[in-house]
Amino acid sequence: MAATAVSTTTAAAARPPGYYVRQRLWQNRPAVAGLAFIALCALVALLGYWILPDNSPNASHGFVQIQKEAPGLRVQLLRQPLPDSARNSVHADNLFTTWLHGREPDVLETPIGGYEFSGDSIILKPLGQHSAEAGRLRRLALSAVTGHAGAPAALQQEIREKHVISRTYALGTDKAGRDELSRLLLGTRISLGIGLVAVLISLALGMAVGAVAGYFGGWVDSLLLGLMTVVWSIPGIMLVIAISLALDSKGVWVSFVAVGLTMWVDVARVVRGQMLSLRAATFVEAGRVLGLPTWRLIARHLLPNMRGPLIVLATSNFAAAILLEAGLSFLGLGVQPPAPSWGLMVKEGYDLLGTEAGLWLTLLPGTAISLLVLSFNLLGNGLRDAYDPKTPVAA
Q: Characterise 139 by phi-psi region: left (phi > 0), alpha (psi -120 to 50), beta (else).
A: beta
Mean pLDDT of 130-146: 66
pLDDT tens-place string over residues 190-246: 889 888 988 999 999 999 999 899 888 889 989 999 998 888 888 877 877 777 777
Mean pLDDT of 160-165: 86
CA max distance for the chain = 95
Return all residues near 153 (Cβ < 8 A) that are at least 6 apart.
Answer: none
Burial class (CB in 10 A: 0-12, 13-18, 19+), 229: exposed
Burial class (CB in 10 A: 0-12, 13-18, 19+), 301: middle
Q: Would you say 87 and 124 are in contact if contact means Cβ atoms under 8 Å apart? A: no
Task: State which of 52-61, 215-224, 254-263, 365-374 shows the largest mean pLDDT.
Answer: 365-374
Beta bridge partners of 80: 108
Q: Which of 84, 81, 148 is nearest to 110 (CA)?
A: 81
pLDDT tens-place string over residues 147-159: 888 888 888 888 8
Using alpha carbons only, give the angle 9, 13, 16 rounded to the nearest 5 degrees.
Answer: 155
pLDDT at 92 over 70: no
H runs (alpha helix) in the chain: 2-13, 17-27, 29-47, 84-90, 95-101, 131-136, 142-146, 152-158, 180-216, 218-233, 236-247, 252-260, 264-278, 282-289, 294-296, 307-331, 342-350, 358-386
Q: Which of 277, 274, 299, 276 is nearest to 287 (CA)?
A: 299
CB count in 10 Å sphere of residue 354: 7
Q: Which of 228, 177, 221 is nearest to 205 (CA)?
A: 228
Q: What is each CA distance from 92 to 249, 252, 359, 391, in whole angstroms?
A: 21, 19, 37, 56
Q: Read off the pLDDT band of 367 (50, 70, 90).
A: very high
pLDDT at 391 over 80: no
Mean pLDDT of 125-147: 68
Coil, strand or helix at 249:
coil
pTM of the predicted model as reported, rounded to 2 decimal places: 0.82
Q: Would you say 133 and 120 are in contact if contact means Cβ atoms under 8 Å apart? A: no
Mean pLDDT of 270-297: 82
Mean pLDDT of 257-281: 85
Burial class (CB in 10 A: 0-12, 13-18, 19+), 118: exposed
Q: What is each CA distance from 109 to 102, 150, 318, 338, 384, in whole angstroms?
A: 16, 22, 38, 18, 51
Q: Read off the pLDDT band of 70 (50, 70, 90).
A: confident
Indicate the average pLDDT of the chain. 80
Measured CA to CA, the distance from residue 137 to residue 155 in angstroms comes to 18
